[in-house]
Amino acid sequence: MTEIGIGIIGGGYMGKAHSVAHAAVGGVFDTALRPRLEVICATTPTSAERYRRAYGFARATDDWQVLVDDPRVEAVVIASPQQTHRAIAEAAFDLGKPVFCEKPLGATLEDSRAMVAAAEASGAINMVGFNYIRTPASQYARQLIAEGAIGDITWFRGEHTEDFFADPEAPATWRTTGMGNGTMGDLAPHMINAALALVGPVKSLVAEVETVHATRPGGEVTNDDQAQMMVRFGCGAMGAMHFSRIATGRKMGYAYEVTGTKGAIRFDQEDQNALWLYRMEGEEATRGFTRILAGPAHPDYQPFCLGPGHGTGYQDQIIIEAKDFLTAIHTGESIWPTFRDGMEVNRIVAAAHASSDAAVWVDIEDF
């Protein structure tokens, strides 16, 4: 067992999730590398010290450069706003340190390309945080598809829909300013990543991106509320995706359907411990979707619980990410999704905006 010093930049929602994950991952997965919580960084000395005490870090700082340069910080987790990702990652890679970066990889496609170049030039381990695809149920869906259980994929439908801005009288916040904080920058990357993971590369698309509530109490809205796209995958399958932060009644609407020549799969994150599988087998009268409850037979479930159907939760997804990051560092081999995989999501987001602006189909290879 070997310790590794972890530095986490950001102490809020995702900073807390990653701090808890690195504190727990060794006990859950018996990892070869055991995190040592060295430094946490936040925007002010007061908040940084508060997070240090709450999460159990050795030290705190309000300067991310201090964290990156600290010799006892051997791996860096970026959980700060996306406009900060590029500079932090480049500085860490200059020192040869492994980097885990929350999605989306960069604030722009240009930033993402630069981050990929820095990662690959350094040879350091790099990974992007797309946690939802790591539920045991979705990992099993990927496994079934790869094994050919539902045949050749013909169609995909995906959505990431929530309702935290469904009320038009909800006040303007930082989320309503800047394209990176809109639905295409915030929610869409998760489902685009799922589509790439389940079906493969996107060849072309046509999209509509719109702002429904242009003003809110306290200010103008400068980014998008919802979007939709039709896609053609490289494998030939058709697809459709929808993203929204104004989807009334939807709390965690990360959901997908995958149709194949021999069967189909359905999943909804609001019921994250269940996967629905249809196999085109047997007599027609007995066919139907089967609800499969996640259990020890599915990927990354057993370390949390030995009981089928007992379930895993959101925090467990982050612990699974931490396990994969530590495994990659230990073995010296980056684990999907890497920075290059994160950049592919940024390419599709950029293509969708261009398609919406011009109202035409676009090829992904042009971006």
pLDDT in tens, 87-134: 999 999 999 999 999 999 999 999 999 999 999 999 999 999 999 999
Q: Which CATH architecture has domain 2-132?
A: 3-Layer(aba) Sandwich (3.40)
First to last CA, the chain: 44
For residue 267, which of 295, 239, 238, 294 has the smallest C-alpha distance? 294
Same-fold call for 2-132 versus 136-310+345-358: no
Chain segment 214-261, per-residue pLDDT in tens? 999 999 999 999 999 999 999 999 999 999 999 999 999 999 999 999
| pLDDT value at 297 more than 90 | yes
| pLDDT value at 1 more than 80 | no
What is the C-alpha to C-alpha distance for residues 347 and 172, in angstroms, rounded to an integer?
28
Q: Which CATH architecture has domain 136-310+345-358?
A: 2-Layer Sandwich (3.30)
For residue 9, which of 74, 118, 120, 84 has the smallest C-alpha distance? 84
Phi, psi of 87 (to 5 degrees): -60, -40
Chain segment 142-175, per-residue pLDDT in tens? 999 999 999 999 999 999 999 999 999 999 999 9
Residue 204's pLDDT is: 98
Report percent pLDDT > 70 for the chain. Answer: 100
Residue 188's pLDDT is: 98
**3-state class (DSSP) for residue 232:** strand
CB 296 within 8 A of CB 302: yes
Q: Where are the alpha helices (DSSP H) in 269-338?
A: 314-331
Phi, psi of 335 (to 5 degrees): -110, 140
For residue 29, which of 335, 325, 313, 308 has the smallest C-alpha distance? 325
What is the C-alpha to C-alpha distance for residues 139 and 10, in angstroms, rounded to an integer?
28
Q: Where are the domains of the chain?
A: 2-132, 136-310+345-358
Q: What is the mean pLDDT of residues 197-216?
A: 98
Residue 94's pLDDT is: 98
Residue 17's pLDDT is: 98
What is the C-alpha to C-alpha distance for residues 12 and 43, in angstroms, rounded to an integer?
10
